[in-house]
Amino acid sequence: MADPATTHTEVGHEAPEATAFGIDPGGWVALAMLVVFAVMIWQKVPAMIGRALDAKIADIRAQLDEAKTLRAEAEALKKEYEAKAAAADGEAAAMVERAKAESKAILAKAKSDAEALVERRTLMAEAKIGAEERAAIDEVRASAAKAATAAATQLIAERSDAKTDQALVDQAIAAL
């Protein structure tokens, strides 16, 4: 039996190729692409794309610079609060040393006065030392709380976005 493709050729039934104005379909596709590219160049689309990309790059650079600035500020604040905490510790130690020195002086004078006076003055000195120590500890805690609050505020601000905020609001509403 003969090949079907060969049979059509032999019989003389060739399918004519579709053309319009003498241009075949591949030519029309190429012509359409040339028109599209010409319109894009005429409307300056590549320049618009370049400007859009340049604007996005500038925006990203600005965000990076802002992030660097914020990080530097956070590090400076951290160092400042660490220095304040160290200074508060030093002041507390100095207060304790002063209180101890005062108690020794009171004790020496109290021995010469009377036994009752010695006991009363010693209790006063110890109460004063305790109060100064509590005050120093409270001051250190307050400084640490301020530093932690500032750091937490910054971290929340950096990590919080509209989606996270919406989830928190939804959770709060659901809890009610």
Task: With respect to residue 145, please indicate whether it lies within any of the assigned structural domains.
Answer: yes
Task: With respect to residue 54, please indicate whether it lies within any of the assigned structural domains.
Answer: no
Task: With respect to residue 91, please indicate whether it lies within any of the assigned structural domains.
Answer: yes
Instruction: Tell me the C-alpha to C-alpha distance, in Å, between residue 12 and each of 1, 15, 111.
Output: 18, 9, 139
Domain count, the chain: 1
Task: With respect to residue 136, please indicate whether it lies within any of the assigned structural domains.
Answer: yes
Do residues 77 and 150 lie in contact, with contact meaning Cβ atoms separated by under 8 Å?
yes
Task: With respect to residue 19, please indicate whether it lies within any of the assigned structural domains.
Answer: no
- 3-state SS assignment for residue 171: helix
User: How far is C-alpha 79 from the chain's CA centre?
Assistant: 19
Over the stretch 98-121, which tens digit does the pLDDT of each residue have? Answer: 888 888 887 777 677 767 766 777
Mean pLDDT of the chain: 82
Over the stretch 52-73, which tens digit does the pLDDT of each residue have? Answer: 898 999 999 999 999 999 999 9
This prediction's pTM: 0.32
Give the span between the Cα atoms of 55 and 47, in whole angstroms.
12
Give the span between the Cα atoms of 101 and 8, in whole angstroms.
122
Kindly state the tokens that stand for 116.
């009752």
Query: Domain residues for 126?
Result: 78-159
Task: With respect to residue 133, please indicate whether it lies within any of the assigned structural domains.
Answer: yes
Over the stretch 42-52, which tens digit does the pLDDT of each residue have? Answer: 888 778 888 88
Task: With respect to residue 38, please indicate whether it lies within any of the assigned structural domains.
Answer: no
- pLDDT above 90 as % of the chain: 20
Task: With respect to residue 90, please indicate whether it lies within any of the assigned structural domains.
Answer: yes
